[in-house]
């Protein structure tokens, strides 16, 4: 194992740089690549790059395109080899990696077409083996790869080297892991459409590159990235096989670093400054680790878990336990909008004003009820003036079958055997024709998208009705970035920020709920959050904002850790059932039958999370509830 560059990194087997944002990380790697290309250009040598696709490198490619345009970075002498391609997809397919590369990079720089190499996903099965050999030979003939760019999948794959791939593996046809296919389901509009096989460079091929730079953004990648960096190398986790490469570096953003020991449990790898938030995190962790409620932790529990210095500084255990217990206790409230006429010194939200003007932002219809359906109902019941704002139409996530059903319904209603001339029928016929003509290679027409958006509106209304929210309290922004974009490739424009800012100015909320930027920075939720952040910056001097508080809720994929929570809203079995009922109204979002592995429907996931959090509070020695929704205050 290489020697660590600092005490805190002693468990890390791969040099890892943590950047404040994904853009900063991408910028750093782009700068390195540009320097390499320039040095080789000056020396009259070609530069051979190994490239990846997916959402991770998009920011890197945007930087390289910018450098080409603004800083005269030339790619005329760059030769590229892409890691992989889905087997069975022609290069024209919207999800083919060849097309992705054209749209995201090659189409915007001066690379020569003959210098581009992407495995061919259209070859007959009998020719694949030989073509893979030729791919390896072509890499060698080009002089080997100077710098390989990688992302990492949640299975720990690099390229499409799924668990079980060997260190020696070479370019070959592989079967995709179930989790990988599920992760791709959104892009392909259903898991059933995701190819089962791919051609990928091997781990051995990647290891031959002179430099390897792996990028990872967002909390969804935190655990697998930490495993790859800190666990002994194993074929079960292909990215860990890169550990002994002589020139490898991981560039990750803050959320992707959350599971590294130096970030998550820094007290285990050296002395720390015991800030209040860290103390709370450490004590909650100790309680769960030792399976003892906070109030029962002993001096020896602290010292046996690397926290002796905390006791020296802030002990004895008895007093420290009580302090943290109280802090956790004070996060719990049945009054998410504040309890009127009560002392609010130890409550998460202010008592006044009451009622409050509350804005709940939902990136796509259904995020609101999934993340805070229980709290939403409470806010309404407690008399607050709640407006739910759907930032995007969510139309990309509606299967064609739903749209087809809706057109049939409209045509049936219009009568005349479907030939009616009324505008609704004309529209429905247009959608129907568009759907019939739609191939795997085209995106939805504006008419299809409009209808799909209307389907989601209908579901959102039904869902909020189940939460007790009056229908006139809904707003649909249909933000342009989403209407113009595709998954993983959204770009915010001024119009998006303006729409959110105008709404905030109009509603002047005392309380804002929004869901965040953490899991995957290219997700709809993250882009939507960014529009809110910028809108708040635009309106920062307006008086309403001085008195407004923003709370973050989470998607059911990942909850907060107990110690990160500022407000925990518990609810009863009945209220939990009500929330599930509300989620259930988003019918187009349920799994699409037996071909989707959909182990968990969204409502099941949400239910599980809320119950789990209640258990965690119970284990910490707080009260025992059925379910809890949690929020963090945004500062
Ligand atoms: C893509 C590739 C994959 C991705 C990985 C992460 O060419 O080889 O290993 O890097 O699946 O995908 P994203 O970046 O979409 O999270």
Query: Is the pLDDT assigned to residue 591 strictly greater than 80?
Result: no
Nearest atom, ligand 1, residue 157 CA = 9
User: What's the confidence (pLDDT) of residue 309?
Assistant: 93
Please state, for a pLDDT cut of 70, what percent of the chain lies above it.
Answer: 97
Q: Give the total number of structural domains in the chain.
A: 3
Cα 154 to ligand 1 centroid, rounded to whole Å: 9
User: Per-residue pLDDT averaged across 454-466, rounded?
Assistant: 96
Q: Which atom of ligand 1 is nearest to the CA of 82?
A: 7
**Which atom of ligand 1 sits closest to the CA of residue 51?**
7
We report the CATH number of the domain holding residue 537 as 3.40.50.10320
- Predicted local distance difference test score (pLDDT) of residue 187: 82
Please tell me the least confidently modeled range out of 70-84, 246-260, 510-524. Answer: 510-524
Q: What confidence score (pLDDT) does residue 240 get?
A: 98
Instruction: Indicate which residue's Cα is closest to atom 4 of ligand 1.
Output: 151
Per-residue pLDDT, averaged over 450-465, amounts to: 96
Residues 278, 257, single domain; the answer is no
CA of 170 to the centre of ligand 1 (A): 18
CA distance 72 to 28: 18
Q: How many A from CA of 526 to the centre of ligand 1?
A: 18
Confidence of residue 294 (pLDDT cuts 50, 70, 90): very high
Ligand 1 center–CA 609 separation, angstroms:
27
How high is the pLDDT of residue 3? 58
Phi, psi of 225 (to 5 degrees): -65, -45
Is residue 263 pLDDT above 60, yes or no?
yes
Q: Which atom of ligand 1 lies closest to the CA of 151?
A: 10
C-alpha–C-alpha distance, residues 546 and 510, integer Å: 9
User: What is the residue with the minimal CA distance to atom 5 of ligand 1?
Assistant: 153
Q: Say if residue 168 is in the same domain as residue 223.
A: yes
Mean pLDDT of 250-260: 96
Please name the residue that has the structure tokens 């007093």.
319
- Which of 280, 309, 329 lies at the terminal end of a domain, its last residue? 329
* Ligand 1 centroid – CA 197 distance (Å): 15
Whose tokens are 């179930």? That residue is 178
Final residue belonging to a domain, choices 329, 348, 368: 329
The stretch 256-276 carries a mean pLDDT of 94
Average pLDDT, the chain: 93
Same domain, 176 and 252: yes
pLDDT of residue 517: 66
Q: pLDDT band at 167, cuts 50/70/90?
A: very high
Task: Name the closest-CA residue to atom 3, ligand 1.
Answer: 159
Q: Of 25, 52, 237, which is best to mutate to test ligand 1, by the most ligand atoms within 8 angstroms of its C-beta?
A: 52
pLDDT at residue 592 is higher than 70: no
Residues 42 and 126 in one domain: yes
Among the three residues 232, 262, 292, which one is the final residue of a domain in this structure? Answer: 262
Q: Summarize the chain as % helix, strand, coil (round to 5).
A: 50, 15, 40
Q: For residue 180, which atom of ligand 1 is closest to its CA?
A: 11
Tokens of 130: 């030989």
Q: How confident is the model at residue 440 (pLDDT cuts 50, 70, 90)?
A: low
pLDDT above 90: percentage of residues in the chain: 83
Tell me if 4 is assigned to some domain: no
- Token representation of residue 266: 């820094």
Q: Does the pLDDT at position 556 exceed 80?
A: no
Asked if residue 29 belongs to a domain, the reply is yes
Q: Which residue, judged by its Cα, is nearest atom 8 of ligand 1?
A: 159
Q: How confident is the model at residue 428 (pLDDT cuts 50, 70, 90)?
A: very high
Q: Who lines ligand 1 at CB under 6 A?
A: 52-56, 83-84, 151-153, 157-160
Q: Are residues 124 and 30 in the same domain?
A: yes
Report the CATH number that the domain containing residue 209 is assigned in CATH: 3.40.50.1360
Q: Which residues pair with 327 in a beta bridge?
A: none
Closest residue by CA, ligand 1 atom 9: 159
- Residue 555 domain-assigned (yes or no): yes
Whether 557 shows a pLDDT value over 90: the answer reads no
What backbone torsions phi and psi does residue 439 show, to the nearest 5 degrees?
-115, 175
Question: How remote is the CA of residue 397 from the centroid of ligand 1, in Å?
Answer: 21
Q: Whose Cα sits closest to atom 10 in ligand 1?
A: 151
pLDDT of residue 594: 53
**Residue 463 confidence (pLDDT):** 96
Residue 416 pLDDT: 78
56 & 153 share domain: yes
Is the residue at 108 inside a domain?
yes
Tokens of 57: 């490198």
∠ Cα 11 14 19 (to 5°) = 95
89 and 237 fall within a common domain: yes
What's the pLDDT at 521?
84
β-bridge pairing 248-253 and 172-175: unpaired
Residues taking part in catalysis? 162
The arithmetic mean of pLDDT across residues 248-267, rounded, is 96
Of 600 and 179, the one with more pLDDT: 179
For residue 612, the CA-to-ligand 1 centroid distance in Å is: 30
**Mean pLDDT along residues 433-454:** 88
Question: 257 and 274: one domain?
Answer: no
The pLDDT assigned to 593 comes to 60
pLDDT digits (tens, 9 = 90+) for 169-200: 999 999 998 888 988 887 887 788 899 999 99
Q: Taking phi first (over 0 means left), then psi (-120 to 50 degrees means alpha), and beta for anything else, what does residue 59 get? A: alpha
In angstroms, what is the span from residue 518 Cα to ligand 1's centroid? 18
Residue 33 falls inside a structural domain: yes
Task: For residues 434 and 557, give the distance between their C-alpha atoms in angstroms, rounded to a whole number.
Answer: 34
Q: Give me ligand 1 centre to Cα 56, in Å.
A: 7
Answer yes or no: do 320 and 222 share one domain.
Answer: no
CB atoms within 10 A of CB 206: 27
* 45-91 pLDDT tens trace: 999 999 999 999 999 999 999 999 999 999 999 999 999 999 999 99
Kindly state the average pLDDT of the residues 342-359.
Answer: 95
Q: Are residues 47 and 185 in the same domain?
A: yes
The rounded Cα 463 to chain-centroid distance in angstroms is: 24
* Same domain, residue pair 302 and 167: no
Domain hosting 298: range is: 267-329
Average of pLDDT values for 440-454? 88
Taking the C-alpha atoms of residue 481 and residue 479, their distance in angstroms, rounded to an integer, is 6
Q: What is the torsional sign of CA 533, 153, 128, 113?
A: positive
Contacts 24+ apart (CB under 8 A), 437-440: 438/400, 440/93, 440/94, 440/193
Between residues 332 and 604, which one has the greater pLDDT? 332
**Whether residue 437 has pLDDT greater than 60:** yes
Claim: this prediction has a pTM higher than 0.85: yes
Residue 409 in any domain: the answer is no
- CA of 232 relative to ligand 1 center, distance in Å: 22
Do the Cβ atoms of 552 and 348 come closer than 8 Å?
no
Which atom of ligand 1 sits closest to the CA of residue 161?
9
Ligand 1, closest atom to CA 200?
8
Is residue 589 situated within a structural domain?
yes
* Ligand 1 site-directed mutation target among 25, 53, 154, most atoms within 8 Å of CB: 53
Segment 355-404, tens digit of pLDDT: 999 999 999 999 999 999 999 999 999 999 999 999 999 999 998 999 99
**Residue 548, SS3 per DSSP:** coil
Q: Residues 212, 71: one domain?
A: yes
Predicted pLDDT at 4: 60
Say if 490 falls within a structural domain: yes
Q: Which DSSP state fits 518? A: -
Ligand 1 atom at minimum distance from 54 CA: 15
Q: What is the pLDDT of residues 225-246, one digit of tens each?
A: 999 999 999 999 999 999 999 9
């Amino acid at each position: 194992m290489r020697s660590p560059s600092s005490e805190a990194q002693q468990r890390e087997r791969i040099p890892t740089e943590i950047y404040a944002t994904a853009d900063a990380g991408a910028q750093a790697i782009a700068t390195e690549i540009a320097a390499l290309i320039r040095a080789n250009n000056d020396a009259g040598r070609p530069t051979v790059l190994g490239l990846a696709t997916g959402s991770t490198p998009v920011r890197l490619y945007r930087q390289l395109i910018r450098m080409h345009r603004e800083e005269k970075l030339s790619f005329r002498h760059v030769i590229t080899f892409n890691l992989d391609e889905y087997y069975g997809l022609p290069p024209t397919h919207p999800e083919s990696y060849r097309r992705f590369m054209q749209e995201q990079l090659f189409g915007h720089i001066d690379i020569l077409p003959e210098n581009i190499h992407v495995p061919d996903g259209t070859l007959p099965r009998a020719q694949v083996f030989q073509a893979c050999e030729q791919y390896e030979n072509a890499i060698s003939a080009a002089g080997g790869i100077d710098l390989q760019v990688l992302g990492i999948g949640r299975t720990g794959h690099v390229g499409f080297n799924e668990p079980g791939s060997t260190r020696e593996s070479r370019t070959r046809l592989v079967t995709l892991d179930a989790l990988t296919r599920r992760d791709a389901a959104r892009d392909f509009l259903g898991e059933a459409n995701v190819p089962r096989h791919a051609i990928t460079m091997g781990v051995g091929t990647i290891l031959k590159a002179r430099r390897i730079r792996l990028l990872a953004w967002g909390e969804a990648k935190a655990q697998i990235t930490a495993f790859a960096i800190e666990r002994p190398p194993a074929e079960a986790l292909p990215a860990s096989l890169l550990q002994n490469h002589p020139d490898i570096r991981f560039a990750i953003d803050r959320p992707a670093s959350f599971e590294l020991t130096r970030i998550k449990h820094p007290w285990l790898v050296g002395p720390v400054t015991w800030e209040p938030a860290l103390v709370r995190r450490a004590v909650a962790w100790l309680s769960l680790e030792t399976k003892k409620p906070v109030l029962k932790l002993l001096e020896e529990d602290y010292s046996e878990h690397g926290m002796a210095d905390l006791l020296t500084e802030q002990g004895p255990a008895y007093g420290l336990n009580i302090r943290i217990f109280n802090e956790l206790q004070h996060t719990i409230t049945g009054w998410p909008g504040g309890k009127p006429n009560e002392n609010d010194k130890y409550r998460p939200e202010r008592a006044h004003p009451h009622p409050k003007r509350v804005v709940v932002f939902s990136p796509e219809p259904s995020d609101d009820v999934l993340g805070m359906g229980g709290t939403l109902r409470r806010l309404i019941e407690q008399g607050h003036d709640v407006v739910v704002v759907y930032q995007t139409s969510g139309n990309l996530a509606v299967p064609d079958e739903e749209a087809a059903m809706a057109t049939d319904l409209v045509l049936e209603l219009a009568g005349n055997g479907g030939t009616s001339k009324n505008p609704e029928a004309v529209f429905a016929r247009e959608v129907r024709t568009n759907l019939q003509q739609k191939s795997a290679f085209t995106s939805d027409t504006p008419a299809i998208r409009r209808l799909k958006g209307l389907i989601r509106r209908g579901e959102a209304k039904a869902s909020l009705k189940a939460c007790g929210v009056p229908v006139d309290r809904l707003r649909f922004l249909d933000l342009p970035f989403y209407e113009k974009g595709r998954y993983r490739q959204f770009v915010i424009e001024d119009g998006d920020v303006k729409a959110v800012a105008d709404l905030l100015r109009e509603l002047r909320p005392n309380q804002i709920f929004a869901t965040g930027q953490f899991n995957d920075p290219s997700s709809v939720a993250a882009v939507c959050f960014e529009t809110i952040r910028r809108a708040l910056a635009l309106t920062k001097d307006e008086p309403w904002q001085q008195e407004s508080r923003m709370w973050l809720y989470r998607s059911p994929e990942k909850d907060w850790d107990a110690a990160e929570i500022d407000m925990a809203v518990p609810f009863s079995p009945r209220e939990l059932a009500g929330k599930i009922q509300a989620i259930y109204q988003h019918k187009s979002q349920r799994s699409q039958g037996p071909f989707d592995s959909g182990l968990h429907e969204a409502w099941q996931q949400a239910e599980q999370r809320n119950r789990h959090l209640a258990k965690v509070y119970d284990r910490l020695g707080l009260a025992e509830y059925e379910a809890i929704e949690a929020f963090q205050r945004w500062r």
